[in-house]
Amino acid sequence: MRTALLLACALTAVAASAEESVYRELDYPIDNYLPKVEGDMALSGTYPLWKDRTKLDWRMAGNPEENWRLNWKFMDPPFNGAVHGGHFALDRGEDLYKALNRDGRFAACLGAGKGKLRGLRTRYPSYNKELKRVVGLEEMIERCAARQDQVLQNGSYDNSAVSLYMASHSQGLPIRIDVSKGPMKEAFERGRILYHTKAGRLNFACSSCHTHNVGQLVRGTHITTPYGDAAHFPVYRTKYMLQSLQLRIAECNLDSGVQPLRPGSAAYTDIEVFLTALTNGYPVSVPSERD
Ligand code: HEC
């Protein structure tokens, strides 16, 4: 608790001293994510560093004792091997999917070649030719369901449940999005800037916590790095049931005094592209649980 308070005070002090400057300045310097950690070759390629406890680099935690808390992604699956709410959500997702996909249109609309769901999750967010922009999987689930007059609102339990079911078909497959060119690269760059842009009542950027204060205690949890996060969403949260990645971003916005946006908004999709690129190489692991 004391650490959390000290952290909050320290960050607020920094924010106050910058009062005169533009109210939405960047959290300089923008970290160069290629490469961030020693041995991190590409976007992101950090999985080998996390999957083995003995290889965790304590410099990322700032303190060797906190190493294990730093990034628990390497413990999935199964972080929680017992049956939890994520498993029930998966069943719900399967039912909804089967009802929607009786004639195969739903899978085709989501971009599943020959109706095959395997690997689909690892390619999202992706560029949609029809919409001429980058879309997240949950946004497409909402759109494709709407074509059949079904409401699966992005951010709802049912929408996330279908997304979770999609992800389960990619269990263990590495996330693989290409942000090297075109609209995906542009979305990545916008997401990268957003991730570093300070905003809101406390004047924090995502990076103020997830890059510059990794390992610190905030609200009873230790802040982790942005690497590998996208691979275990939608996640079962003991307090919110099921949470998509964009809803998690909204939660962090709320917690740090920033007006949250709707899931599916352009800014959240850009941040999702950025976070997913930093998750390249990490195996999809669902259903995961976070408290
Ligand atoms: C005030 C500090 C703070 C800020 C600012 C903040 N977060 Fe978080 N975030 C946390 C904490 C604490 C957690 C829970 C512990 C963890 O998993 O890192 C968390 C969790 C997350 C997770 C889930 C990690 C997991 O393993 O499930 C994601 C993704 C995330 N934040 C993204 C963001 C993004 C994107 C932004 C900027 C829009 C942001 N956060 C801003 C503190 C912050």
Distance 224 CA to ligand 1 centre (A): 7
Whole-angstrom Cα distance, residue 291 to residue 240?
A: 9
Q: What is the pLDDT of residue 219?
A: 78
Q: Which two tokens stand for residue 246?
A: 């964009």
Task: Tell which atom from ligand 1 comes closest to the C-alpha of 205.
Answer: 5
Write down the pLDDT at residue 283. Answer: 87
Pocket test for ligand 1, best of 223, 245, 254 (most atoms within 8 A of CB): 223
Average pLDDT by consecutive 10-residue portion of the chain (291 residues)? 44 46 65 52 63 66 60 53 87 97 96 93 97 98 97 98 97 91 95 93 92 79 83 86 95 95 97 94 86 76
Q: If you average pLDDT over every residue of the chain, what do you get?
A: 83
Q: Which two tokens stand for residue 87?
A: 């498993």
pLDDT score of 81: 67
pLDDT at 172: 87
Buried b (16+ CB within 10 A) or exposed e, 62-74: eeeebbebbbbbb
Which structure tokens are listed for 222?
Answer: 């230790």
Write the CB contacts of 238 (distance below 8 Å, at least 6 apart in sequence): 85, 289, 290, 291
Evaluate: CB of 220 within 6 angstroms of ligand 1: no
CA 130 to centroid of chain Cα atoms = 25
